Amino acid sequence: MKKNNRVYGILAVGAYMANFNADLSGYPKTTADNIILGSDKALKYPMKRMWMIQGEPVLYIKSMQIKEDKGGEKLQPRDLNERYSFLFGSLDEKTSSKEVLGKLFSAIDVMNFGATFAEKKQNISITGAVQINQGLNLYKDTEILVQDILSPFRNSNEKSEDKLASSMGTKIVTDEAHYVYSFSVNPANYHDYIGLANGFEGYTQEAYDKFKCAARVATTAFNTNSKSGCENELAVFIELKEESQLFLANLDRYVSAQRDGDHILYDLSKLAQALEPHYDQIQSVEIYCNLATIKVNCGSLPGKVESIY
């Protein structure tokens, strides 16, 4: 079923003794003002992993292959053309753009987040229906901790006496951080592609429901070494009526996060004040959180708080 109405919302991720999004130095990413942030890619990646595990076709994700190289067979990541061919079959210069576009939209990550595809004389750029901004850490008492790690193996590449000793490493984490993202869903971004792609009729309710599910739990489910301790804490979905002419700026500016005893309190009262004059244009407001660890001050926002799980 086609989806026509727009959605705005907030997604919050907590990181406890974890590093949700590291830069190339291994430290948490920061702005020029040293505010810790998480990129949209850091939030999207666990969603893609979750979809892939569920059997959904996901195009823009790292996948490995054994390929013949000069030194024999080597494990290496697929390039974009190889990933496309792995999912959808071979791609060459004679493949029509209509066919390629249809197959791109059949991938759940492309259907939600869009794509930039330039392979085999195809030059396709799709602005995603779902747009996620950078997520700033709103918790003011965050500290960065550096832990020394002893490897079980010696470093035979050392040229000094240290080559006889076990190698050392570091693990860099935040003691506690709370990243708040703003997102929007605009099905109209795909109107120009209707009729141009095989079988494509626009953004669907099914694709939105899959995004909505992954947005609530994918980070919690993605339990790697650096992401262990990262979890989904809050998700707010504000669905507008189909005929609504309301356009909202980034909603994370209306949110604050602070500790309240054993809980983290997310304050949405400023968001409620901003939306209150426009409730006649809003179809529904859904608020989800981890009820065991999170409190939410909803102000006058309609709708009850439900478990994020």
State how far the Cα of 176 lies from the Cα of 14, in Å rounded to an integer. Answer: 7
- The closest alpha carbon to 116, from 104, 129, 130, 131, belongs to 104
What pTM was computed for the model? 0.92
Is 244 within 8 Å of 7 (Cβ atoms)?
no
Residue bearing the bigger pLDDT, 92 or 109: 109
pLDDT in tens, 83-98: 999 999 999 989 999 9
Q: At 164, is the pLDDT very low, low, confident or very high (cuts 50, 70, 90)?
A: low
Average confidence score pLDDT of the chain? 92
How confident is the model at residue 67, as a pLDDT? Answer: 86
For residue 158, pLDDT over 60 is answered with no
For residue 74, pLDDT over 60 is answered with yes
Residue bearing the bigger pLDDT, 228 or 264: 264
State how far the Cα of 211 lies from the Cα of 108, in Å rounded to an integer. Answer: 9
For residue 235, pLDDT over 90 is answered with yes
DSSP state of 207: H
How confident is the model at residue 166, as a pLDDT? Answer: 58
How confident is the model at residue 226, as a pLDDT? Answer: 59
